[in-house]
Chain A
Amino acid sequence: MSNYAYILWIPLLPLATFLVLGLFGRKYFKTFSGTIGTASLLASAVLSIVAAYQYFFVDGKVNGVYEKIIAFKYTWLAFSPNVSIDMGIIIDPISVMMLVVVTFVSLMVHLFSLGYMKGEERFATYYAFLSLFTFSMLGLVLSSNIFQVYVFWELVGVSSFLLIGYYFDKPSAVAASKKAFIVTRFADLGFLIGILLLGFYAGTLDIGILIQKLTNAASPEFTGMATASFLGVSALTWALTLVFMGGAGKSAMFPLHIWLPDAMEGPTPVSALIHAATMVVAGVYLVARLFPVFSMDASALNVVMYTGAFSALLAAVIACTQTDIKRVLAYSTMSQIGYMMFALGVSKYGGENGLGYMASMFHLFTHAFFKSLLFLGAGAVIHMVHSNEMGDMGGLRKLMPITHIAFLIACLAIAGIPPFAGFFSKEEILTAAFHSNKMIYGVALFTSALTAFYMFRLYYSIFWAKEAHVHDHHGEGTLTMKLPLIILAICAVGAGLVPFSSLITSDGAALETHVDMIFSIAPVTLAVIAILIATAFYKTQNDKPAKAAAAFGGLYRAAQHKFYMDELYIFITKKIIFPLIGQPIAWVDRNIVDGFMNLLANTTAKISALIKGFQSGKVQNYALYFFGGVAALAVVFIYLWK
C-alpha cells in the first residue's frame, strides 16, 4: 500500500528548486536558473506520470473500486487525540489526475518561459516564484487534512500574488496583484470559517474521517450538523457554502470573479499556469474533494450549481465584447470553470447519478490542456506584436504558422467540435445537466454557442482580418517556445480519448457512459453556426460587428463594461461601506479605541517611571525588598488565605 512514498518527491523537488533559486539564483546561476527549474519539474512530471500509471493501472483498484490511499502522514500539531493538523499525502483518482495536470502544465510553462522571459532582469526570481507556486499547488492537491489544504491554499494565494505582481514597477500590475490577493483573501475567510465549522461538528480535520462521519446519515456528527441551524439554515449548509465561498474566490466565480481579468497583468506564461490549469480550478477541486459531503446537502449543491451556471453565462457574454486577447481568455476561463462547477452541482454521489462529477473532472482535465495552449499561444502572439489589443494584430497566420495551427486546434477544442478534447467533456456535462435540470441545460447550451462565437472572433482577429503590419524581427520564437505549443496541441486533440469514466468517478467504481449521438447534435450544430457567424463577422474587416453591436445597444455596452461589476464594487465600498460603516468605525477607532490605548500606554509609562525607584542599585535595599516579599507571602498565605 505504502509503496507510493516517492510521491513525496513530487512537491519537494519544486520546493528545493525554490529554495535554491530564491537564495542563490540571482548571484550564482542567473542564466541557468531556468534550466534548473525546468529540469527539476521534468523530474516531478515524470514521477507524477509514473504514479498515475501505478495507481490507475497497477494497484490502485481493489475489487473494481479505486481506493483512497494515505501515502504519507505526519502529525504536525495535535490538539486532542482526534483533532490534529497533519501533513499527509492522499492518493485517489482526482489527486493523481491533478498531479499529472499540474506538473505537466507547469512543465510546459517552464519550458515556454525559457524563451519568453529570456533577458529579464529577475529571471532567477521568476523561476523561483514559479517553483514556489508549483510546490504550493501540488501540496494543495495532495493534502489529506483539510487544514493542510488551507495552509497550501494560502501559499498558492501568496505565490500567485508574487507572480501576478512580477512586473512590480508597473503600477497596474501591482494594483492587479493586490486586487487578486484581497478578493481571494476575503473569500478565504469564508473558507476558514467553513473549515472550523466542519472541524467543530465532525470532531476531526482529517478529510477521510470527515467524509466518513458526515456521509453517514445516522452518525451523531451528521445529525448534529444537519439539525443545528443558524438563520434558518443548517450548520452543514452553512459550512459547505462557506467552504464553497473560498473555492469560488480562487475559481473566480460570480461575484468574486473581478480579480481574474486584472490578473492578466502578470507575465503571459504565468497566466497559462495559474489562470488556466491550476489555481483557478482549485475551487472545483475543493468541491470535488469534499463532494461526498456536498452530496448529502441539496441546498449547498444548489448554490454550487446556480453560481456555476450564472458565472458561465455571464463570463461568456462579457468575453464576446472584450478587445484585449488575454481578457477574452480570462473570461472564457471563468466561463469554463462555471461549467465544471455546475456539473458538480447537478451531480449526485455514486453510480449513474455521479455522471456530473465525472464530467466535471473530465472537463477540468481537458480544459487544462487547451486553455494553457490558448494562453501560451497568446503569449507567443504578444511576444511578436508587443501588444494585447486585438486591433494591433491580424493576418499573423503566415508569420506564425505553428502558433496558428495550435491556436486553431485549441479553439476547436474549446468550442466543442468533435473529435477534439473539449467535445467529449462538454458532451458529458451537457448530458448530466439534461438529466437533472432542464433550465441549466438550456443555459449551458447557449453558453457553449457563445463560447464558439467569441473564441473564433478572437481567432480571426488575430490570424486573419487584415494584412500583417508587424515587422518580423525574431521569427516565431525559440524552439522552447514552439515545443510546448506542439505538445499541448497534441494533448488538446487526444485528451478526450482518455477513458475517463472508468478512471475517475465519484465513488471510484467504473461508470458506463455512452455518448449519445442525439445529444451531440444540438450543441455541435449550435457551435458550428456560431463559428460561421464569427467567420462572417471577423474573417475580413467589415462593418457587420459594429452593426451587431449597435443592434444590441445597451446589452453590448453593459457587457463591454463587464456589466459594471467593478463599478458596483467601487460604489459599494466607496459610497456605502466607507461613509456609512468605515467612517463611524474610524471615529470610534480614533477617539475611543486610540484614546483607550493611549491611556493604557500613558499609564504603563507612568507606572514604569514610578517603580523605577525600586531599582536603586543599592544591595541593602534589594535585600529589604526580598525580605518584604517573603514577609508579604507569609502574611497572605498563613493568615489571609484559607
Chain B
Amino acid sequence: MLADFFILLKQELVVTAIIFLLLFIKLGKDRSNETLLGIINLLLFLNFASGFCCSQDGMLFNDMFHTNPLIVLEKNILNLAIWLISLQSYSWLKTHKHVIEFYLLLLSTLLGMFFMISSGNLLMFYLGLEMSTIPLAAAANFDLTKRKSSEAAMKLIISSAFSSALLLFGISLLFGTTGTLVLTELPAHLSANPLQIFAFILVLSGFAFKISAVPFHLWTADVYEGAPVAVTAYLSVVSKAAVLFVFVSVLYNAFKPLADVWYNMLFILSLATIIIGNLFAIRQDNFKRFLAFSSIAQVGFILLGISGSSQTGTASVIYFILIYVFSNLAAFGVISLVSAVKGKENISDYKAFYTTNPLLSWVITIALFSLAGVPPTAGFFGKFFLLTAGAAKGNYWWIGIAALNMVVSFYYYLRVVKAIFMDSNEQPIEKISIPNYSKLALIICVAGIIITGLASCVYDYIYSLSSGL
C-alpha cells in the first residue's frame, strides 16, 4: 500500500525533495553561483531520468489524484523542458543574486502542474492551476532592475486573477447543476442545457487564458516581452504544455456529453487563434514578442488536433508538444544566450548574425524551420499528424484555412532566417562563446528536432499509451 503510494506519487515526491534540498542549501553556507547551478542542473536531470522508472495506474486521496503511464510521460516531458530551460539560463543566472529562489519558484509551479495533470476532481485541478500560476508571476519579476519585468509580473497576476475568478464561477455553476466535481462522474450529469453550456464556457475560458487562445491571449505578448527569457520560455512551453495535457483529457472525458458544443467552440477559437496570432507575428520586431505570437498561432493548430477527439487526437497533441518543446527551446536557447551576453532582443539586431555566429544561426534556423513545419524537421510531422487528426472529422474548411495560415507563417519565420543569413549589417552581434550547459541544451534540442520526426517509434510509443484516454 505504502509502496503504491510512493510509486504513484514518485514525480511529485522527487520535485518536493528537490525543493527541500534547495531550501537547506539556501540556509547553509554561501556557495558560488557556478556550483549551485551545477548542482541544480544535475538534480533536474535526475528528476527527468527518474521519470522513466516504474510507473503504474492508480488513484490516491479519494480519487482526487490519478495517474497512468501517459500522465507519467506528460509530466516527464515537462521535466525535460524545465531541465533544458535551466541549462540555457546558465549565462543569465550565474551573475544573479537569487538563484535558489528562482528555482524554488519554478519548481513550485512544476509541482502545481503535476497535481493539475493528475487531478481527478475539478477542485484539485483548480488548486494545481493556481499553484502553477502565482509563483510564476513572481518569477516573471526576476529581472529585478527592469521596470518591464515588474510590469509583466503585475499584468500576469492581475490577468490570471481575473481568469481564475471566471473559472471558479464556472466550476461552482457546474457543481450547482450536477452536484459533483469528480471528473469521472461529471458526464453522467451533463446534458447540454444552457446553464451547463454557460458554465462550460467559463471553464473553457480559464483554459483558453492559460494556453493563450484568442481572444483570451492579450496578456501573452506583454508578459513574454517583459519577463526574463527563461521565464518566457517556461511560460510558452512548460505552462502551456501542462494546461494542454489537462485540456485534452478533460474535454475527451469529463465533457464528453458536450462534444458537439466544444467541437464548434474549438472551431471558432482555433481559427481566430491561428489567424490573429499570425497577423500579429508578422509585425513584431522584438524576438520574444515574435515567438509569443507565433506560439499563439501554434496553439491554434493544437486545438485543431484536439478537435479530432480520438486516440490519434491525443497522440498527435502530445507528440506535437514534445516537438514544440524542442523547437521552441532551441530558439529560446539562442535568444537567451544573446540576450544575456549582449542584451539584444530585436530581430533587426540579428541581421548578418550568420557572419559572426554560424553555429547559433544554424540552430535557430533549424528551430524556426521546425516551428514553421518544413520537412524533414520534426515540426512538419507534428503539424501533419495534427491536421490528420483534425481531418478525421471532415471539416475541410478548417483544415484549408489552417493550411493557408501555415503559408503565412512561413513568411514570418523565413523573414527571420533571411535577416540572419542574407541581410547586411555593419555591426552584427559579435561572436558569442557558448557555455557548456547551453551547448548541451542546444544539442539536445536540435537532435530532438531531427530524431523525433524521423524515428517513427516515438509517435508509435505515444500513440500506444494514448489508448487509455
| Interface set of A (CB-CB < 8 Å, partner B) | 75-78, 604-605, 607-609, 611-612, 614-615, 617, 619, 621-623, 625-630, 633-634, 636-638, 641
Tell whether B175 is near chain A: CB-to-CB under 8 Å.
no
B398 within 8 A of A: no
B456 sits at the interface (CB 8 A): yes
Whether B283 lies near A637 (C-beta < 8 A) is no
**What residues of chain B lie closer than 8 Å to A623, measured between beta carbons?**
158-159, 162
Count, chain B residues at interface, CB 8 A: 34
Nearest CB in chain A to that of B281: its residue: A608
How would residues 192 to 217 of chain B score, 1 for a CB under 8 Å from any chain A CB and 0 otherwise? Answer: 00100110011011001100001110
Instruction: Provide the residues of chain A in CB contact with B280, threshold 8 Å.
Output: 608, 611, 615
Rounded to whole Å, the gap between the CB of B271 and the closest CB of chain A is 14
* A-B contact sample (13 more), CB < 8 A, given A621-B218, A622-B219, A636-B268: A78-B456, A608-B280, A611-B279, A623-B159, A625-B218, A626-B162, A626-B215, A629-B215, A629-B216, A633-B204, A637-B201, A637-B261, A641-B261
A50 to chain B, nearest CB (A): 30
Q: Is B282 touching A608 in the complex (CB atoms < 8 A)?
A: yes
Q: Which of B205, B209, B221, B282 has a CB less than 8 Å from the CB of A604?
A: B282
Residues of A within 8 A of B209 (CB): 626
B 134-164 binary contact with A (CB < 8 Å = 1; else 0): 0000000000000000000011001100110
Min distance, Cβ A628 to any Cβ of chain B, angstroms: 7
16 contacts between A and B (CB under 8 A): A76-B456, A604-B282, A604-B408, A609-B283, A611-B280, A614-B218, A619-B219, A625-B215, A625-B218, A626-B159, A626-B162, A626-B163, A633-B204, A633-B265, A637-B197, A638-B194
Residues of B within 8 A of A615 (CB): 218, 221-222, 280
Q: How far is the CB of A431 from chain B (nearest CB, A)?
A: 48
- Known contacts A630-B201, A633-B201, A641-B264, A608 near B279 by CB under 8 Å: yes
- Which residues of A are found within 8 Å of B261, using beta-carbon distances? 637, 641
Find residues 81-108 in chain B having any chain A CB closer than 8 Å to their own CB.
Answer: none
Contact A637 B265 (CB under 8 A): yes
Which residue of chain A has the shortest Cβ distance to B219 in the bound complex? A622
Does B276 reach chain A (CB closer than 8 Å)? Answer: yes
CB-CB under 8 A from B456, the residues of chain A are 75-78
Are B201 and A622 in contact, with the CB atoms below 8 A?
A: no
**Cβ-neighbour of B159 out of A75, A78, A612, A622 (below 8 A):** A622
Residues of B within 8 A of A638 (CB): 194, 197-198
> What residue in chain A is nearest B157 (Cβ atoms)?
A619
Q: For B73, what are the chain A residues with a Cβ–Cβ distance below 8 Å?
A: none
The answer on a CB contact under 8 Å between A608 and B201 is no
| Bound CA–CA A77/B380 (angstroms) | 13
Indicate if the CB atoms of B215 and A628 lie closer than 8 Å. Answer: yes
- Asked if B166 is at the interface of the complex by the 8 Å CB criterion, the answer is yes
A636, closest chain B residue (CB): B268
Q: How far is the CA of A617 from the CA of B221 in the complex (A)?
A: 9
Residues B222 and A630 in contact, CB atoms below 8 Å apart: no
In the complex, what residues of B have CB within 8 A of residue A609's CB?
283
Structural contact, B276 and A634, CB atoms closer than 8 A: no
The interface residues of chain A lying within 8 Å CB-to-CB of B162 are 623, 626
In the complex, the answer to whether B283 meets A630 with C-beta atoms within 8 Å is: no
Which residue on A lies nearest to B193, using beta carbons?
A: A638
**A619–B202 CB distance below 8 A:** no
The residue that B276 contacts in the complex, of A611, A621, A633, A637, with Cβ under 8 A, is: A611
Q: Which residues of A contact B197 (CB under 8 A)?
A: 634, 637-638
| B204: nearest chain-A partner, CB-CB | A633
Shortest Cβ-Cβ A-B pairs, 6 listed? A629-B215, A622-B218, A608-B279, A638-B194, A633-B201, A630-B205
What separation, in Å, do the CA atoms of A638 and B265 have in the docked complex?
A: 12
Considering only residues 250-299 of chain B, those with a C-beta below 8 Å from chain A are 261, 264-265, 268, 276, 279-280, 282-283
Q: With a CB–CB cut-off of 8 A, which chain A residues contact B264?
A: 637, 641
**Interface pair A634/B216, CB less than 8 Å apart:** no
